[in-house]
Structure 1
């Protein structure tokens, strides 16, 4: 097997052209560390990437390709599929625009089509702007975390956190947690991690109440964990939420299943914000993204930190190849 066959093709949608997405992608590719694990190809505007290369001062050239079969696989060349959704004369910067929203929506759909069809092994989404999408009246086919269907997974070094629920009021969280929901999430997480190359994932479930001592912990979470264990899944819990994340950081577990949005996010952002990335678990293909926004306040300055984008691109490559989580860079 040669090096090109050993590394999967990973497509990255450049994000809203007015934001820092093109800049952090250019800087991430310039490190050479993306090519160590994958053959990268971008989806978006060649002109936006050329501007980003100029802004950041990296040493590479942008090359438009029409086919996945015609990638250069050269760290000094940025291969991009540009379907013409955004003209070179229409390059917004640091503001929401209709054209930016229209282009972002189309690029996301193009990336999804490539991934769903098997042309690329994984898709990475650059930072998009909900403001631009609203102006353009576009609703791209992005999977939103939905209990029982899809989950947001945040990764930061040894701390990996899946969220049973996402943007749901706490009162509602208490109402919907059930043994069925917990067991289903554990099955989906276990299956995904095995596909990613973790032979026997060690999953721990965070309790909902202080010290995991409440009605929901006893009547909903614990029975769900018991069901998963009976099916051969290495799951434990509920574990007191004030200590479970530290236990994952220390290597006792591979991933934590948090019960609600802030329970997991606070732990992740406290442990290590720079360099983390996110996975949307649920689509038919591996969908990875950064955990930051378009950062219009610094767009065009060339100072945006590429650590999250580098992490997202390397994580997508390693998991798509079934090699588990990559070493940190």
Structure 2
């Protein structure tokens, strides 16, 4: 384990969900080889593993082989697995804020966020649609934040994210596609070390519109955006029919696929590798990854949660942080 690498900050997520369980299981797998992380949350959420309270991230690497390092955030209300309590919303939000602040200061190498229960936070006054938008406010980068989902053999980005399908289609225009594509290309260069990213853009309509006979958005919005991007030197291709864009043969021809709406990009990733998929936010001032699943309230407290996606998120966060440090050097 590289003790010179700053430890990762792992937030507790929804206390009534599986965040604590998968954090404990991830530590059991990673405790020897790393990457080292510290848990921002209530130590009582970590079942069946030793933990040790630390005063600062600087203590985490030395503690990590023997116990989960914890920067404690005690919860005001008792936790019942599977039953979120809005009284615990404030420390959940505070964990995210502290993790970002520590990463921005250099004390943490990056931020890995456990899943949150958005409806509970919203009821407590949280005004953001999700993690991505909140993190963009806490650690804005040079371009718009981009949600990238990474799995075995596929990276995918939704152009529109947390909004209804009707409003996503109404919002879609060439300017938005270009903004997200530019930011995606920049993020792949900066965080993934891909010098010349290849972007494949999905069509919105069946058969990518079939020359306008099945909808004109592909011809009138997506194709002009691709032409603009190519004129700027970005290797953008398409629009491709979405029903064939994610086959093994097609995936070999690009570095990232851009879907026009949330599910168009996320369904292929979760179908290919639900247990190992990782959510990455590009173009933040800090590295941020997250497991590609939710709070799993239905199995919370039953020791049934698979930590694979969190382990992948921790490992990928360490790799992305290394890329950033190497670029800075």
With the length of structure 2 as denominator, give the TM-score of the two structures. 0.84
Paired with 2:240 and 2:260, the residues of 1 have a C-alpha distance of 11
1:164 to 139, 159, 162: 159
For residues 116-127 of structure 1, what are the structure 2 equivalents within 5 Å? 116-127=104-115
Match of 2:309 in 1: 308
1:174 deviation in Å?
A: 3.4
Matched, 1:45 2:38: no
Matched with 1:57 is none
Change (3 A) 1:103 1:92: farther
Q: In 1, distance between residues paired with 2:7 and 2:61?
A: 12
Deviations 1:206-256 (A, max 9, x none): 111222233221222122112222222222111121111225774221110
- Take 1:121 and 1:302, find their aligned partners in 2: how far apart are those partners? 29
8 Å contact kept, 2:10–2:39: yes
Q: Secondary structure at the match of 2:323?
A: coil
Taking a change above 3 Å as real, the CA distance of residues 115 and 248 of structure 1, as seen in their structure-2 partners, is farther
Q: Find out whether 1:211 has 2:201 as its counterpart.
A: no
Task: Return closer, same or farther for 1:144/1:78 CA change in 2, 3 Å cut-off.
Answer: same
Corresponding residue for residue 180 of structure 1: 175
Number of residue-to-residue matches in the alignment: 309
CA distance in 2, matches of 1:193, 1:93: 38
- Relative distance call for 1:93 and 1:318 in structure 2 (3 A) is same
Equivalent position SS for 1:223: helix
Taking the TM superposition and a 5 Å limit, the aligned residue runs for 1:1-329 are 3-5=2-4, 7-32=5-30, 36=33, 38-49=35-46, 52=47, 54=48, 60-73=49-62, 74-82=64-72, 84-86=73-75, 90-139=78-127, 142-144=131-133, 149-196=144-191, 197-213=193-209, 214=212, 215-246=216-247, 250-322=251-323
TM-score of the superposed pair, with normalisation by structure 1 = 0.84
Q: For residue 112 of structure 1, report the CA deviation from its aligned partner.
A: 2.0
Contact 1:30 1:76 in 2 (8 A): no
Distance in 2 (CA, whole Å) between partners of 1:35 and 1:162 is 33
Deviations 1:29-72 (A, max 9, x none): 2112x7646331221112222xx2x2xxxxx5211111122223
Q: Any stretches of 5+ residues in structure 2 without a counterpart?
A: 137-142, 325-329
2:139 is matched with none
CA 1:18–1:168 in structure 2 vs 1: closer, same or farther (change >3 Å)? closer
Contact 1:66 1:81 (C-alpha < 8 Å) held by counterparts? yes
CA RMSD of aligned residues (A): 2.6
Looking at structure 2, the residues matched to 139 and 62 of structure 1 have their Cα atoms a distance apart, in angstroms, of: 33
CA contact (8 A) 2:2 2:34 kept: no
Work out the CA distance in 2 between the residues paired with 1:170 and 1:296: 26
CA contact (8 A) 2:132 2:147 kept: no
Is the Cα contact below 8 Å between 1:97 and 1:135 reproduced in 2? no
Counterparts of 2:285 and 2:80 in 1: how far apart (Å)? 32
Does the residue aligned with 1:199 lie in a helix, a strand or coil? coil
**Runs of 5+ unmatched residues, structure 1:** 55-59, 324-329
Cα gap change, 1:271 to 1:249, in 2 (>3 Å): farther
Cα gap change, 1:248 to 1:31, in 2 (>3 Å): farther
